[in-house]
Amino acid sequence: MSEATTWGREHWLDIRNYHEGWASRARFAARHIPHRWVSDIGCGKQALSKYLRPGAIYLPSDMKAWDDNVETCDLNEGQLPTKSLSLADVAVLLGVIERIVDLPTLFASLARATEHLVVSYHPIEKRPTFSGVDVWCHQYSAQEITVMLRAAGYDEITTREFKEQTIWYARSKSFTREQREARSKVRAGYAGPRPSLGRRFRRLFGL
């Protein structure tokens, strides 16, 4: 792992380095997430949970367990949030993959683990000028990310632009009927948190 990547990992273990302004990206991405079971990988302050459809089951994960509901994972070490992914319709990674060393392997692993993917990236054609870029592992173009997703087994790929970033929505061709059946069985035994009536109301009205 490079020096920049190591520095970046420590940086993201401190919740003070997560900006409130990133909630606007989560809100934008959530408008096009119709799924009920949502795995938020690299959840941070869990802003996405506020904007999902009413009744959505939110499954947060990150390198650090910010609370009792957060499953730990480390994508650069090949550690996926397997419990969350076994339940989820969709894996969401917002502001995450710029710091992942091996994107093709990650995309292939996620394509086998869950049916849909939502991922944001700051492509090279929109290169930023802020100093935070020194903790990024790579600079790909938007087209290169799309090619990687297709090579990993995704199709039905669409993109939407949010400020200087691109957000991809994709479906895995690798996810099988047998996996859907297994997922249904796992969900039947799910005993985790579900959205309260108050949270459903806030989600419904985007509050």
pLDDT of residue 65: 85
In order along its 207 residues, the chain shows pLDDT tens digits of 333 344 466 666 666 666 666 789 999 999 999 999 999 999 988 999 999 999 999 999 999 887 889 999 999 999 999 999 999 999 999 999 988 999 999 999 999 999 999 999 999 888 755 555 556 778 899 999 999 999 999 999 999 999 989 999 999 999 999 999 999 999 999 988 887 545 555 545 555
Q: What angle do CA 105, 106, 112 make, to 5 degrees?
A: 90
pTM: 0.86
pLDDT of residue 126: 80
pLDDT of residue 130: 53
HEC string of 40-86?
EECCCCCHHHHCCCCCCEEEEEECCCCCCCCEECEHHHCECCHHHHH
pLDDT of residue 82: 97
CA 98, CA 136: separation in Å to the nearest integer?
5
- At which residue do the structure tokens 């990133």 appear? 22
The candidate with the shortest Cα–Cα distance to 35, out of 118, 103, 151, is 118
HSE-up of 130 (CA within 13 Å, CB side)? 6
Give yes or no for a contact between 57 and 37, defined as CB atoms under 8 angstroms apart.
yes
pLDDT of residue 6: 40
